[in-house]
Amino acid sequence: MKQILFLIVIASTLISCAQSSKQQKKQEGNSGKSGFIAVDTAWTTKVVKTAAEWKKILTPEQFYITRQQGTESPFSSPLYENHEEGIYFCVCCQNPLFSSATKFESGTGWPSYFAPFSSKSVSVSKDDSHGMSRDEVVCQRCNAHLGHVFNDGPKPTGLRYCMDGIALTFQKQSLNAKMSKAYFAMGCFWCMETIFESIKGVSEVVSGYSGGDKANPTYEEVGRKTTGHAEAIEILYDSTQITWPELLRVYFAAGDPTQVNGQGPDKGTPYRSVLFYRNETEKQQIEAYMTELSKSGKYDKPFAVAVEPFKVFWKAEEYHQDFVKLNPQNSYVQYESLPRLARTKEQVPDLLKK
């Protein structure tokens, strides 16, 4: 009897990925979950906001420095003494501005660099305020005031970009990294997110929707099957640490690729399995991998995984991000997500984060 009751409890809790805990209101988020910023030097649109809009997303200090041409006190920024390898982004618009490779000890008390990150990082203009003639440095994308540039820097440029640390946000990362993105769908995105976040070379996984037509869909709309979208994940990975075929290995270990329109207890087209490819090479490698796997004798049914060109990914509501990590006591997480994570890890021990 105890056993039967236990099974009933499991059965009723397994449905929950599709129900109660996801029925919260969509929340607005600015910088994303754990805040990983992708290096994007290919942007084409500038970021323009009113003062009131900037005030909503910046602290008063950040607003004063970046939007009112303020100057922070020397030696006040923790970034002045920062010697870690990584990228410095604009605090307003996440434009990559400087790399740790060009940072040097200027002795001035302000973070100093001898070159910007890319040709799209900063713009320079004359600033004759405060009785001085200086060259003001602003973010090329959002016009944030960042500091000034002087001609007394080290080789090879001889320039000293003297920056306000408050205008910058630092992200630790290997400068040799070649970051790429992958988009997969297979059942509940909470589970998929936590599985791929355990894989080496993966720096971020975002839960969202893809494969449908409606722009910016809500969780409820996707669940009602009116958008065509599947619950999907966006994986940001370093291709020098993990390859596309290795990601496919994780994908096929992450669930049952023969289950039609669903995964485990989550059934219906929003839970279908899709491998989205972004170019011909990825597509060919998916096909080759699936052909080889189907010959392995491991599966007695045909694959139910769609192979589709990637179009667009819509980030899901903030409360879906990092769900497994933030809700370890949730019954769906305990009875479905964590066992699924453990089953996957057992199959790809060589691809896990150390």
| Interacting residues with Zn ion (CB under 5 A) | 90, 92-93, 95, 139, 141-142, 144
In the complex, minimum distance from the CB of residue 306 to Zn ion, in angstroms, rounded to a whole number = 39
Q: Beta 305-309 vs 122-127: how paired, if at all?
A: unpaired
Token pair of 9 as six digits: 């409890």
Given 17, 139, 162, 191, the catalytic residue: 162
Verify whether residue 191 is a known catalytic residue: no
Verify whether residue 92 is a known catalytic residue: no
Give whichever of 92 and 182 is closer to Zn ion, judged by the CB atom. 92
DSSP-derived secondary structure for 273-329: EEEEESSHHHHHHHHHHHHHHHHTT--SS---EEEEE---EEEPPGGGTTHHHH-TT
Given 17, 142, 188, 191, the catalytic residue: 188
In the complex, minimum distance from the CB of residue 70 to Zn ion, in angstroms, rounded to a whole number = 15
Give whichever of 141 and 320 is closer to Zn ion, judged by the CB atom. 141
**Strand ranges, E, within the chain:** 86-90, 96-99, 103-104, 112-113, 122-127, 134-139, 145-150, 160-163, 168-172, 179-185, 202-210, 230-238, 262-263, 266-267, 273-277, 305-309, 313-315
| Angle formed at CA 257 by CA 251 and CA 260, multiple of 5 degrees | 135
- C-beta of residue 182 within 8 angstroms of C-beta of residue 102: no
Nearest to residue 334, comparing CAs of 346, 344, 345, 323? 323
Query: What phi and psi, each to the nearest 5 degrees, are found at residue 152?
Result: -115, 30
Give whichever of 90 and 163 is closer to Zn ion, judged by the CB atom. 90
In the complex, minimum distance from the CB of residue 86 to Zn ion, in angstroms, rounded to a whole number = 17
In the complex, minimum distance from the CB of residue 196 to Zn ion, in angstroms, rounded to a whole number = 30
Give whichever of 54 and 190 is closer to Zn ion, judged by the CB atom. 54
Query: What phi and psi, each to the nearest 5 degrees, are found at residue 177?
Result: -60, 140
Helix axes 244-253, 338-347, angle to 10 degrees: 130
Give whichever of 77 and 207 is closer to Zn ion, judged by the CB atom. 77
In the complex, minimum distance from the CB of residue 144 to Zn ion, in angstroms, rounded to a whole number = 4
Give whichever of 37 and 93 is closer to Zn ion, judged by the CB atom. 93
- C-beta of residue 163 within 8 angstroms of C-beta of residue 114: no
In the complex, minimum distance from the CB of residue 69 to Zn ion, in angstroms, rounded to a whole number = 14
Q: Which residues are catalytic?
A: 162, 188
